[in-house]
Amino acid sequence: MTKLSVNINKIATLRNSRGGNTPNVLAAALACERFGAEGITVHPRPDERHIRYQDVYDLKAEITTEFNIEGNCQEQKFIDLVLANNPTQVTLVPDALGQITSNHGWDTIKNRDYLKDMVKLFKDKGIRVSIFVDPDVDMVEAAAETGTDRIELYTEAYAEGFGFDSAAAVAPYFHAAKKAQEVGLGLNAGHDLDLNNLKYFNEHIPGLLEVSIGHALISDALYLGLEETIKRYLASLKA
């Protein structure tokens, strides 16, 4: 079954809006694990507007499932944070400073040599590496040349097109997934996946290992409760 990694950035956003430590980010992460999530994802940004750098240290000390740290490896502070915490996985995302949310994958052709160096840096420390890419077979193929273990397909375009033509929306992702299999890459996916579109995506994407879901899942938890929400997302990922 495809693994569910819960991105807890939005828990941190809510906490930071009021100050203090409510809701407690670590307690929320541990609850996600207790309710069945197989991983915890965080995406710290330089302004710490949601996940704080200290949160990463606190989470690393306590969580028992896979720990995935996403972020921009063009920031030295991010590199240092990842190396200090040695997560299960680092996902390299080409965010710009001040970007509200991730909105594109790497150009793995243009940045191939740079990404090779970054991938080697993290893999030498025993950290699994995933590169955030658009569903483009050329980008997938070039990603394999960096030495990365996995790619994460950026799924906003799928989510936007799903309600109009689900088959057309998923088609580029199917071809990207087949290319990933062909070149020996593990496959993750994330961004705007939710209870409406996740099951279809999982059923039509070969070799999908993990999805990272935050905004939609935390939003659903406001209505359904966290335990029930995680249960429903896990059900959507059953083969």
Residue 70 annotated in active site: yes
Active site residue 175: no
Integer Cα distance of 82 and 75 in angstroms:
11
Q: Among residues 33, 70, 152, 210, which one is catalytic? A: 70
What is the rounded CA–CA span in Å between residue 227 and residue 164?
31
CA–CA separation, 104 and 111 (whole Å): 14
Rg of the chain, C-alpha, whole Å: 17
Active-site residue (options: 33, 50, 152, 191)? 191
The DSSP call for residue 212 is E
Structure tokens at 71: 């972020």
H helices within 4-130, ranges in order? 9-18, 25-34, 53-62, 76-85, 112-123
Name the residue among 216, 158, 170, 209 with its Cα closest to residue 188: 209
Three-state DSSP state, 206: coil
- Residue 208 has which token pair? 């999908």
Q: For 51, list phi and psi in degrees, rounded to 5.
A: -70, 125
Cβ neighbours, 10 Å, residue 167: 11
Measured distance CA(217)–CA(195) in Å, rounded: 8
The one catalytic residue among 43, 50, 152, 210: 43
Q: How big is the chain, counted in residues?
A: 239
Active site residue ranges: 43, 70, 191
